[in-house]
Amino acid sequence: MNWLFRWQHVAPSTQLLGERGLLEALRQLQGFEAPANSWERQILARRVANYDPKELDQLCLTGAVGWDASRLIPRR
C-alpha cells in the first residue's frame, strides 16, 4: 500500500509542487471519474503541496487541460 501512496503522490514526502506538479497529477489521473466537488479539496490538494486553485484555473484558461463531463449520468 505504501507504494501506491508514493506513486499517487499522496504520501507527504512525494507530493508534487506548483503548476508543473499539478499538470503531472492531472495527467496521471486522466480518465479517472470523481464528483466535481471532490477534485480540488480531496484529490488535487492531497497530491500537490500547497495546492492553489488559481493554478488549475490557469491551466484551463491556457488550454493545457480541459474537462469532459459528457459521461456523467444525471441523478434521478
C-alpha span between 57 and 63 (Å, rounded): 10
**What pLDDT sits at residue 74?**
58
pLDDT (tens, 9 = 90+) of the chain, 76 residues, equals: 899 999 999 998 999 999 999 999 999 999 898 888 899 999 999 999 999 999 999 999 999 998 876 665 555 6
**pTM, two decimal places:** 0.83
Encoded amino acid at 66, one letter: G
C-alpha span between 35 and 26 (Å, rounded): 15
